């Protein structure tokens, strides 16, 4: 298959190399000519600009830093928007703005070009090994047609919904990642300052209930199902534990901004009389603020973790 690939950075270069090793004919472009050298040495064609990379491609991939770069590649001088041929598909692997991909998608509709947002997750090692998730938004028929090609890139391609849905899923995932990262920084600094060696503390945290389970695998049991009775771990005990942890933090002069927010949620749950319900019921407070209900039907819950 003739493939155009634009953006040969930390993620793009190993992804393009996987496509090349699978036997596809690549035309590649990057702002830095040397980023493409290894691919060119193995038979890829160098494109002087984005339009050249897109012109002959059955499928175009872009892997760029963000919305500004995607818009430049699409709409700038020598951009791909007018170069993509009718019937072709463009998969944007960038962690992008949903608004950006939706606007570009609309602009390409009259030219019979399907743009799908397909951000990836797995980091440089995953890009090398093919252990990547791809969250794809856009035309379902196009996704199905190129599913085999997407599986060359990553082992977990997933159709999420209409155009922009892939970007929404990726931003939600990364927001969770960095929020959890901040919370872990708090608890590790608390434990170490309170006298536990870092390695021992890590082992202890990893052996607990949250450490043993994949973090997101716990969502279907209570929150996604809307089941908070009978409790697996009630609000009043969660509140007690967090109060004790924050008291420990105060005595050791450790700031705990994320944990303070968590305590505020549990305190509101207690005020509402939810003390003997499952602690995950406090998550519904955010639903109220956002004006949305997050639930999955019972028959789908059974398949979510497959």
Question: What domains sit in the chain, N to C, each tagged with a CATH number?
Answer: 2-169 (3.40.50.720), 208-304 (1.10.1040.10)
User: Among 80-89, 142-151, 297-306, whose mean pLDDT is lowest?
Assistant: 297-306
> What is the pLDDT at residue 33?
96
Of 268, 207, 266, the C-alpha closest to 234 is: 266
Neighbour tally for 120: CB within 10 Å: 25
The yes-or-no answer on residue 240 being catalytic is no
pLDDT, the chain, mean = 96
pTM: 0.93
pLDDT digits (tens, 9 = 90+) for 78-96: 999 999 999 999 999 999 9
CA atoms within 13 A on the CB side of 291: 0
> What is the distance of C-alpha 1 from the center of its chain?
28
Q: How far is it, in rounded angstroms, from Cα 135 to Cα 285?
A: 28
Which of 2, 131, 170, 193 does the annotation list as catalytic? 170
Q: How far apart are the first and last CA of the chain?
A: 32
Of 149, 154, 145, the C-alpha closest to 25 is: 149
Does the pLDDT at position 166 exceed 80? Answer: yes
> What is the pLDDT at residue 77?
87
β-bridge pairing 156-161 and 120-121: unpaired
Contact in structure between 160 and 138 (CB atoms under 8 Å): no
> What is the pLDDT at residue 214?
84
pLDDT-derived band at 47 (thresholds 50, 70, 90) equals very high
């Amino acid at each position: 298959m003739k493939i155009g690939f634009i953006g040969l950075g930390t993620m793009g270069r190993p992804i393009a190399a996987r496509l090349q090793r699978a036997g596809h004919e690549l035309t590649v472009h990057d702002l830095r000519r040397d980023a493409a050298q290894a691919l060119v040495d193995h038979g890829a064609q160098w494109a002087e600009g984005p339009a050249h990379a897109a012109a002959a491609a059955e499928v175009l991939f872009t892997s760029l830093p963000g919305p500004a770069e995607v818009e430049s590649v699409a709409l700038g001088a020598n951009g791909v928007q007018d170069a993509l041929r009718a019937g072709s598909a463009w998969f944007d692997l960038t962690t992008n703005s949903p608004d950006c991909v939706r606007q570009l998608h609309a602009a390409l509709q009259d030219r019979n070009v399907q743009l799908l947002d397909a951000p990836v997750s797995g980091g440089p090692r995953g890009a090398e090994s093919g252990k990547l998730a791809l969250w794809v938004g856009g035309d379902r028929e196009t996704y199905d047609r190129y599913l085999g090609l997407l599986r060359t890139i990553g082992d977990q391609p997933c159709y999420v919904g209409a155009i922009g849905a892939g970007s929404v899923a990726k931003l939600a995932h990364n927001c969770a990642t960095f929020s959890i990262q901040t919370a872990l920084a708090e608890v590790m600094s608390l434990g170490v300052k309170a006298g536990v060696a870092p390695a021992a503390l890590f082992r202890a945290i990893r052996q607990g209930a949250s450490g043993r389970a994949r973090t997101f695998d716990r969502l279907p049991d209570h929150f996604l199902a809307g089941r908070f009775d009978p409790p697996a771990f009630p609000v009043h005990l969660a509140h007690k534990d967090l109060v004790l942890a924050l008291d420990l933090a105060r005595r050791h002069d450790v700031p705990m901004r994320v944990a303070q927010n968590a305590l505020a949620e549990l305190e509101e749950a207690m005020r509402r009389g939810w003390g003997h319900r499952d602690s995950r019921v406090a998550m519904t407070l955010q639903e109220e603020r956002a004006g949305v209900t997050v639930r999955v039907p019972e028959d789908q819950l059974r398949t979510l973790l497959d």
